[in-house]
């Protein structure tokens, strides 16, 4: 898309998207069947109302503090920075949240909304299982029925999280249609939602789906960026020079980026999964190698064949294995405000081991993509530059996958 630099200037300094109908430029919107439209209108009304309601916000803040353990710290990874030789690497420790990832910031918010809307049943889709666990957790706490849809392939590679969800009282439904991964779980959750529309609230786990989801999930995740801004100012006396976050659907990335969008001196890097390599076609990098289309309720960059059929994605990390991406990232890419890059399976694995050995922090495979790119970037920058990486989750869930890859029996 042609965007002149003066447009871009005004877009970034006066950033207030999406518009009323949920668009980020040509992206986003509401592309669902009529059978869902009324529910989406109902959700939008409730969200618009409660996100300005002081009582709702106070309850949300209290939960984030007492139950999730926020604020999450920022840690200066000095050994990693020294070993890398270049810019300083800081980690925003979302891995220290209750349930082990950023996902809970969103499920806490949406579950409070579901309760306010009088819904008694929660459904969710999950890839890595982190969002499923975070949803099952809040459902348990609020006493709501919970059903989680998960691709049959993902159930195999993320078995610890499947068991955690069951312990928490959720029903985990294996999805065997299509590629049996996250996108198919999302399809199945949408089918459940239209069927049980009266009592069911659908907690989408990332900034995808029809409006208001991309805006709502972002708003619940911006706690990451708001805290980071204040913490970096306090720690280093200035804003970071660059932000780095992995991008599956894009919720942890937008949560970090959004409060910095108008700070044009802060560079932003979204890291997609290059899988076996972008050039092999076996990857999950729609922003780097896809083109715009419509899937799961919004217009955004997608991975599809020439006929518009969605193609199977590949990544070592289940949480990045998604052929679409949140529409706001598509817009930030087009206007040039954020850069999107890709890290392959091997690079992510190497970063996983490096962070574990050098800093004593086991990162999620998703987050390892961000760490890998931050290390690459740091090498190109002087030592007085600061890079803030969103460490979106911890890697306990991934140790079985990694052991298996390395031929180790547990």
Partner 1 sequence: MSRLDACFKALAEQNQKALVPFVTAGDPNADFTLACMHNMVKAGANIIELGVPFSDPMADGPVIQKASERALEQGMSLKGVIEVVRQFREEDQVTPVILMGYLNPIEFMGYEAFAERAAEAGVDGVLTVDIPPEESAALLRAYDKYALAPIFLLSPTSNESRIKKVAAVAQGYIYYVSIKGVTGTGDLELSEVTDKLAEIKRHTSLPLAVGFGVKNANIAANIAKISDAVVVGSALINCITDNADDENKGQEAIAGLLAEMRTAMDAVTK
Ligand X SMILES: Cc1ncc(COP(=O)(O)O)c(C=O)c1O
Q: Which residues contribute to the site for partner 1 (CB under 8 A)? A: 21, 29-35, 37-39, 177-178, 183-184, 187, 190-191, 194-198, 292-297, 299, 302, 304, 306-311
Distances (CA, A) of 352 to 31, 95, 370, 377: 38, 13, 10, 16
Please report which helix (H) or strand (E) contains residue 40, including its range.
Answer: helix 34-50
C-alpha radius of gyration, the chain, whole number: 20
Cα 308 to Cα 300: distance, rounded to the nearest angstrom: 13
**CB under 5 to 8 A by kind: which of partner 1, ligand X, none does 252 bind?**
ligand X
364 binds ligand X (CB under 6 A): yes
Residues in the chain: 410
215 binds ligand X (CB under 6 A): no
Supply the minimum distance, in Å, between the C-beta of residue 128 and ligand X.
4
8 A C-beta contact, residue 139 and residue 157: no
Residue list 304-363, contact with ligand X (CB under 6 A): 319-320
Q: 25 or 286: whose CB is closer to ligand X?
A: 286
Q: 275 or 319: whose CB is closer to ligand X?
A: 319
Supply the minimum distance, in Å, between the C-beta of residue 299 and partner 1.
8
Q: Which of 146, 190, 216, 246 binds ligand X (CB under 6 A)?
A: 246
Identified catalytic residue from 72, 81, 368, 392: 392
248 binds ligand X (CB under 6 A): yes
Cα 255 to Cα 39: distance, rounded to the nearest angstrom: 25
**CB under 5 to 8 A by kind: which of ligand X, partner 1, none does 130 bind?**
ligand X
Burial of 209 (0-12, 13-18, 19+ CB in 10 A): buried
Cα 391 to Cα 226: distance, rounded to the nearest angstrom: 15
209 binds ligand X (CB under 6 A): no
**CB under 5 to 8 A by kind: which of ligand X, partner 1, none does 246 bind?**
ligand X
**Selection from 111, 109, 112, 105 nearest residue 123 by Cα:** 111
3-state SS class at 298: strand
What are the residue numbers of the active site? 103, 125, 392
Q: Note the residues at the interface with ligand X (CB under 6 A).
A: 101, 103, 127-128, 130-131, 206, 246-253, 319-320, 364, 366-367, 392-393
């Amino acid at each position: 898309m042609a965007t002149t630099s003066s447009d871009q200037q005004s877009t970034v300094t006066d950033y207030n998207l999406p518009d009323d109908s949920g668009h980020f430029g040509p992206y986003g919107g509401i592309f669902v069947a009529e059978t869902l439209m009324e529910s989406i209108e109902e959700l939008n009304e409730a969200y618009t109302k409660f996100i300005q309601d002081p009582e709702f916000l106070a309850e949300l803040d209290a939960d984030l503090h007492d139950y999730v353990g926020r604020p999450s710290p920022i840690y200066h990874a000095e050994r990693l920075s020294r070993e890398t030789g270049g810019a300083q690497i800081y980690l925003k420790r979302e891995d220290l949240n209750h349930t082990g990832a950023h996902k809970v910031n969103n499920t806490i918010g949406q579950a409070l909304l579901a309760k306010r809307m009088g819904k008694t049943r929660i459904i969710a889709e999950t890839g890595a299982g982190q969002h499923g666990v975070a949803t099952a957790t809040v459902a348990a706490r609020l006493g709501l029925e919970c059903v989680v849809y998960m691709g049959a392939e993902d159930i195999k590679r993320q078995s610890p999280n499947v068991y955690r969800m069951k312990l928490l009282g959720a029903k985990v439904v294996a999805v065997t249609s299509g590629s049996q991964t996250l996108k198919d779980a999302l399809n199945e959750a949408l089918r459940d939602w239209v069927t049980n529309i009266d009592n069911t609230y659908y907690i989408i786990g990332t900034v995808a789906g029809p409006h208001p989801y991309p805006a709502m999930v972002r708003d619940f995740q911006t706690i990451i960026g708001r805290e980071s801004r204040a913490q970096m100012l306090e720690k280093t006396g200035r804003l970071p020079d660059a932000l780095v976050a992995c991008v599956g659907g894009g919720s942890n990335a937008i949560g970090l980026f959004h409060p910095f969008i108008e700070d044009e001196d802060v560079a932003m890097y979204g890291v997609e999964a290059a899988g076996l390599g972008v050039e092999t076609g076996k990857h999950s990098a729609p922003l780097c190698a896809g083109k715009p289309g419509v899937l799961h309720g919004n217009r955004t960059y997608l991975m599809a064949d020439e006929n518009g059929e969605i193609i199977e994605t590949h990544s070592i990390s289940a949480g990045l294995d998604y052929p679409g991406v949140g529409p706001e990232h598509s817009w930030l890419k087009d206007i040039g405000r954020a850069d999107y890059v890709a890290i392959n399976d091997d690079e992510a694995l190497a970063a996983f081991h490096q962070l574990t050995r050098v800093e004593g922090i086991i990162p999620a495979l998703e987050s390892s993509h961000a760490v890998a790119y931050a290390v690459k970037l740091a090498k190109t920058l002087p030592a007085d530059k600061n890079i803030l990486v969103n460490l979106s989750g911890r890697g306990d869930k991934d140790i079985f996958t990694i052991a298996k890859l390395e031929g180790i029996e547990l």
